[in-house]
């Protein structure tokens, strides 16, 4: 290990947060860490062998240098012997350089491999979490687990492991050789160690405080930038006319980070200057006392030189190992935070004996379905929530004995007041959530008995706020059907009544839609989402407020696109605007999680119940002209 690397390892130990040393790891953490290392067993063995050989060379070189001095001083040997020893030192330097390259190669293989394994495993696991997990989790905190904590865990097998092994071996060998050469000088040299360690610990504690503050400020600035730099945030700041206040708030935090950076740089320089000063004083002691002992005949000149060179390799490992528990626990805590996410079980799982959904299955049936949303401790982690509020999930069931059947090709409309349970019903079909009791069946098969891929491949959905990735129109469409050709995409766009618009764009299918599709109008984005469903060509379509918040002209265009999307498909349509569901084969009125009425439009009006009340609320006070426009939509 080079002197620079040793110094940096020491500095890293002093700047690590020592509070982790007092934490207790969950049972089995070390065993699980070892399991991640198993695929890299061969690389780890070679890596540790390289570190050991490098430490041996580091001790051997000063001894050879001392031997050369003795031969030059006329204490035996010859010119040829000096040249031979010099060649050996040069050869060892070449070998050490090669070992350094090998060290880097294997540490990179192990470290980057672990990052790859952990990230992909966490990413795949998070993808299987229920929707309620994402409604409670702060995105930045989750991303941090995939970045900062994964990298922290990776350091357990690279910098921490190599540092501990090389420091232990180097320290033991160096101390043993120095005591062999002169126990008096070695003992006196060690007396100077507290002169460095004690002030360094105080500097380290101060660095920990300002480093934590810096991390907090940086996280706050990152959060601010994420919220303000997306289209909606930028629009809100502009509309409320507060850019100067926002800039001043950001400037204040950035200024504190700047000041902390300067302070941290000075503390770090103080640390390195102190280490260099103590090493220089110790070497002066070696040369002074060693020279006196050499004149007394107790030591040879070469021994004095060897002691001075060995001393430079003594302080770094000693100070680093004094905080080895902090280094190890920091890495272990990072592993534990990653395992915390992996140990959160997904609520939606696929049975081992699951079968593919039968081809052409299009009927949808709810059989006495009861449902309650999962509690926070079942689907979330407090550490991933920016503000861990008390769990507000209602304890009472959301759905109570819901039963209905949609025959193949039928349009079933779900209407009712907000919070009645309409969206919840629609989310049980593709298993966004699972029922508490009862069953949801497609083609007569319980959705819990089929593979998730075949189930979700048979279902398409358009929501109120159809999400678009910050990508091209082409890639947003291909997300539904990766194998689609340009001709198929253009046909889907044409059926969704947005083909002419896309064709008129300079980049056509390669036009970037912007963050969340913000470069498109609301109606255009909805029609693009419908085109995505048409390209997927599912047998079942779910429309959740697909025409909400659109102006009359956009609603008419989207409704025409929906007519194409629903043709020949079983459809569940959720709408507040009753004008959009009048032609449904069956209308289900949902109230407090129950189906309280069902039938056709005219039939339900004749009942003069919930549906009639909803209808009157929306249309009774509107002018005939508005009513005709709504009916046309």
Q: What is the pLDDT of residues 325-343, one digit of tens each?
A: 666 766 777 777 788 888 8
Helix (H), strand (E) at residue 595: strand 594-599
Which range among 64-78, 119-133, 311-325 shows the weakest confidence by mean pLDDT?
311-325
Give percent above pLDDT 70 in the chain: 78
**Among 146-160, 218-232, 336-350, 420-434, the range of highest mean pLDDT:** 420-434
Reported as a pLDDT band with limits 50, 70 and 90, residue 3 is very low
Location of each CATH 3.40.50.300 domain in the chain: 364-458+540-632, 465-537
Other Cβ atoms less than 10 A from the Cβ of 601: the count is 16
The contacts of residue 339 (CB under 8 Å, 6+ apart) are: 26, 29, 32
C-alpha to C-alpha distance for 554 and 176, rounded to whole angstroms: 84
**Closest of 588, 591, 603, 604 to residue 404, by C-alpha:** 588
Question: In this predicted structure, what is the pLDDT of residue 365?
Answer: 94
Would you say the C-alpha torsion 474, 480, 485, 489 has a positive or negative sign? negative
pLDDT band at 35 (very low <50, low <70, confident <90, very high): confident
| Confidence band of 64 (pLDDT split at 50, 70, 90) | confident
Q: With helix as H, strand as E and coil as C, how does 384-441 read?
A: HCCCCCCCCCCCCCCEEEEEEEECCCCEEEEECCCCCCHHHHHHHCCCCCCCCEEEEE
pLDDT band at 621 (very low <50, low <70, confident <90, very high): very low
At 445 the three-state DSSP class reads: strand
Q: Are strands 570-574 and 586-591 parallel, antiparallel or unpaired?
A: unpaired
Residues shown for the chain: 633
- The residues, any chain, with a CB within 8 Å of residue 141's CB and separated by 6 or more, are 383, 384, 385, 386
- pLDDT class of 401 with cuts at 50, 70, 90: very high
Separation of alpha carbons 436 and 208, rounded Å: 49
| Main-chain phi, psi angles of 97, to 5 degrees | -65, -40
Query: 625: pLDDT confidence band, cut at 50, 70 and 90?
Result: very low
Q: How far is CA 400 from CA 208, 397, 450, 614, in A?
A: 54, 7, 24, 21
Cα(409)–Cα(416) distance, integer angstroms: 23
Phi and psi angles of residue 435, each rounded to the nearest 5 degrees, phi first? -70, 155
For residue 632, name the pLDDT band (cuts at 50, 70, 90).
very low
What is the rounded average pLDDT of the residues 64-88? 82
Q: How far is CA 135 from CA 131, 132, 229, 374, in A?
A: 7, 5, 21, 12
pLDDT grade for 582, boundaries at 50, 70 and 90: confident
- Residue 397, pLDDT above cutoff 70: yes
The CATH class of 465-537 is alpha beta
Cβ count within 10 A of residue 62:
24
| Rounded to 5°, angle at Cα 278 from 275 and 279 | 85
Contact 316, 55 (CB under 8 A): no
Fold of 364-458+540-632: Rossmann fold (3.40.50)
- More confident: 547 or 9: 547
Owner of token pair 């970045």: 147
Beta partners for residue 371, in sequence order: 399
Could you give the residue ranges of the DSSP H alpha helices within 182-229?
183-191, 193-229
Query: Between residues 178 and 22, which one has the greater pLDDT?
Result: 178
Identify the architecture of domain 3-342 in CATH: Up-down Bundle (1.20)
The CA angle 6-10-13, to the nearest 5 degrees, is 140
* pLDDT tens, residue by residue, 184-221: 888 887 777 676 666 666 666 676 677 667 766 776 67
Torsion of CA 585, 591, 592, 593, to 10 degrees: -10
Number of other residues whose CB lies within 10 A of the CB of residue 78: 9
Residues 227, 231: Cα–Cα separation, whole Å:
9
Name which of 441, 469, 466 is nearest 455 in CA terms. 441
Q: 396 or 551: whose pLDDT is higher?
A: 396
Give the bridge partners for 216, in sequence order. none
Report the pLDDT value the prediction gives residue 400, as an integer from 0 to 100.
92
């Amino acid at each position: 290990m080079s002197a620079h690397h040793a110094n940096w390892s020491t500095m890293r130990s002093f700047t690590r947060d020592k509070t982790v040393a007092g934490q207790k790891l969950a049972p089995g953490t070390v065993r699980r860490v070892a399991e991640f290392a198993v695929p890299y067993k061969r690389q780890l063995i070679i890596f540790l062998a390289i570190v050991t050989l490098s430490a041996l060379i580091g001790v051997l070189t000063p001894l050879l240098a001392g031997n050369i001095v003795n031969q030059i001083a006329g204490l035996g040997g010859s010119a040829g012997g000096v040249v031979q020893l010099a060649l050996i030192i040069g050869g060892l330097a070449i070998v050490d350089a090669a070992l350094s390259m090998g060290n880097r190669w294997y540490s990179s293989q192990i470290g980057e491999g672990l990052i790859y394994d952990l990230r992909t495993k966490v990413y795949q696991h998070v993808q299987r979490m229920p929707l309620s997990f994402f409604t409670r989790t702060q995105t930045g905190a989750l991303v941090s687990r995939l970045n900062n904590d994964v990298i922290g865990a990776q350091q357990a097998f690279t910098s921490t492991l190599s540092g501990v092994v090389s420091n232990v071996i180097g320290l033991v060998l160096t101390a043993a050789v120095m005591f062999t050469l002169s126990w008096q000088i070695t003992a006196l040299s060690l007396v100077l160690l507290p002169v460095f360690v004690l002030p360094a610990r105080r500097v380290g504690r101060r660095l920990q405080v300002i480093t934590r503050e810096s991390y907090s400020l940086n996280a706050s600035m990152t959060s601010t930038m994420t919220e303000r730099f997306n289209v909606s945030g930028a629009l809100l700041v502009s509309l409320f006319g507060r850019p100067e206040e926002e800039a001043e708030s950001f400037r204040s935090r950035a200024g504190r980070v700047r000041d902390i950076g300067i302070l941290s740089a000075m503390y770090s320089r103080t640390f390195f200057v102190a280490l260099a000063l103590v090493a220089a004083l110790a070497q002066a002691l070696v040369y002074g006392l060693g020279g006196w002992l050499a004149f007394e005949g107790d030591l040879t000149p070469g021994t004095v030189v060897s002691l001075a060179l060995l001393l430079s390799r003594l302080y770094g490992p000693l100070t680093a190992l004094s905080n080895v528990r902090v280094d190890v626990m920091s890495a272990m805590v990072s592993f534990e935070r990653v395992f915390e996410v992996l140990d959160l079980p997904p609520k939606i799982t696929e049975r081992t004996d699951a079968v593919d959904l039968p081809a052409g299955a299009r009927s949808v049936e709810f059989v006495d379905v009861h449902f309650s949303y999962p509690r926070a401790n079942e689907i979330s982690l407090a550490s991933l929530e920016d503000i861990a509020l008390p769990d507000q999930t209602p304890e009472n069931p959301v759905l109570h004995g819901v039963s209905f059947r949609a025959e193949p090709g039928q349009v079933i409309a779900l209407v009712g007041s907000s919070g009645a349970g309409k969206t919840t019903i629609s989310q049980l079909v593709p298993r966004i959530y699972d029922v508490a009791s009862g069953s949801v069946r497609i083609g007569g098969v319980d959705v819990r008995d089929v593979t998730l891929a075949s189930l979700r491949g048979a279902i398409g959905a358009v929501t109120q706020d159809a999400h678009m990735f910050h990508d091209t129109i082409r890639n947003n469409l291909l997300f539904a059907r990766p194998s689609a050709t340009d001709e198929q995409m253009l046909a889907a766009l044409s059926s969704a009544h947005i083909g002419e618009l896309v064709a008129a764009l300079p980049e056509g299918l390669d036009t970037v839609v912007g963050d969340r599709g913000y470069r498109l109008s609301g109606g255009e984005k909805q029609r693009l989402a419908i085109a995505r469903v048409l390209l997927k060509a599912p047998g079942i379509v779910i429309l959740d407020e697909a025409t909400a918040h659109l102006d009359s002209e956009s609603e008419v265009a989207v409704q025409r696109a929906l007519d194409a999307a629903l043709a020949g498909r079983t459809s569940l349509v959720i709408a507040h605007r009753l004008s959009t569901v009048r032609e449904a084969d069956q209308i289900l009125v949902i109230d407090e999680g129950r189906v309280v009425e069902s039938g056709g439009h005219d039939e339900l009006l004749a009942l003069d119940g919930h549906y009639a009340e909803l209808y009157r609320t929306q249309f009774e006070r509107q002018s005939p002209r508005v009513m005709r426009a709504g009916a046309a939509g």
